[in-house]
Chain A
Amino acid sequence: MNSKLFWYIATGAVAGLIAGFLGIGGGILLVPMMVGLLGLTQHKAHGTSLAVIIPIAIISAIVYALRGQINWTLVATIGSGSVIGVFIGAKLMMKVPAHRLRQFFGVYTIAIATLLLLR
């Protein structure tokens, strides 16, 4: 098989599997894989991963919905909060030092992971 094609399939497989299993978008895996394995620029990877997340989110959400594991009130509140947040965040993107925020985010995820494991 064409090796380039293999990496595209592998990227979709790994990101899709984790996204469906853990309920995240998969962008946290898609972007670094697109940059590192597929040679996309950071900006293109960012936009392209969002487009790939659309079908991933639809298929996975349907599977969860069929099991009755979706609370639509929460979807509406979290969804509307996120859309407003994304617009503000996109405007702030150039003003906030990404490096600092990433440090904060790293500490945050480790703290939350510990809380979840100790629960």
Chain B
Amino acid sequence: MDIAIALAAGLIAGLISGILGVGGGTISIPAMVLLVGVEQHTAQGVSLAAMLFTALVGAFIHYRQGNVKLSAVFLIIPSAVAFSFLGAWAAGQVTAEWLTRAFAIFLLLIGCRMLLFNRGGQGVSTS
């Protein structure tokens, strides 16, 4: 049953991120926490590991279409890697309750931004 929920959550997360470019972790993490009862840290760890597959596939497709600016990738990666390490470390320093709260507040801000700045055309962002 949990496997079916996880598969469905993955499908929906993939569908929305394919169409809008958003929704990887924002869909799979709450689904794991609320429906499967996974602890917040583990839900986030799973989200990050699962995201690797979609990012690899997505980046490859976009690269072939000439939509990856490599110079930007190399300029952003050093600080992105250093600070994601810091963020992942910091997550281990707080309790699951506080991490869930922080995650929920972030979702709330994202939701408001989506509704307030909803321009036409295609996706706002990714994963």
Give A contacts to B, CB under 8 Å.
Answer: 5, 8-32, 34, 38, 40, 42-61, 63-65, 67, 69-75, 77-93, 96, 98-99, 101-103, 105-110, 112-117, 119
Contact = CB atoms under 8 A, between A and B. Distances in A.
Contact of A48 (B38, B72, B106): B72
B44 to A, nearest CB: 2
B44 A56 contact: no
The 10 A-B residue pairs with the shortest CB-CB distance, nearest first, are A89-B18, A85-B14, A81-B10, A23-B44, A27-B126, A20-B87, A47-B62, A25-B127, A64-B45, A31-B125
A25 B69 CA distance: 18
Given A17-B83, A46-B126, A77 B22 contact: no
Contact of B19 (A30, A49, A98): A98
Given A57-B48, A64-B45, A86 B26 contact: no
Nearest to A89: B18
Nearest to B82: A16
Contacts of A61: 45, 48-49, 52
B25 A80 contact: no
Interface residues of B, dominant DSSP: helix
A33 to B, nearest CB: 9
Interface of B: 3, 6-26, 28-30, 32-34, 36, 38-39, 41-59, 61-63, 65, 67-70, 72-73, 75-92, 99-108, 110-115, 118-127
A22 B19 contact: no
A83 B53 contact: yes
Contacts of B77: 12, 52, 55
A8 B115 CA distance: 27
B59 A54 contact: yes
18 contacts: A15-B80, A16-B81, A19-B84, A21-B87, A28-B110, A49-B127, A60-B48, A61-B48, A61-B52, A65-B45, A86-B58, A89-B15, A98-B121, A106-B118, A109-B26, A113-B105, A113-B108, A116-B30
B123 A98 contact: yes
A29 to B, nearest CB: 7
B69 to A, nearest CB: 5
